[in-house]
Amino acid sequence: MSAESTSNAPRCPRCSHYYITYDPSFPYGCRILGFKSRNTPEKEVQGASGLPCQSFAEKAASKR
């Protein structure tokens, strides 16, 4: 994987659908795809489909 494709790949912590669960066995979740996992959802999607997540939606910038 090249550095360019890695920098443009969807990253779960920047996605509005990503959340941290209260389940210690499955600490990461994706609301739109409807699952929890031990790895970040981006890794699960990449491993299952071979493609980057197609449901990625950038979080809105917070006002501080």
Specify the pTM: 0.76
Chunk the chain into consecutive blocks of 10 residues (it has 64) and report each block's average pLDDT, rounded to whole numbers: 57 93 96 94 93 91 73
Which has the closest alpha carbon to 42: 3, 22, 14, 63? 14
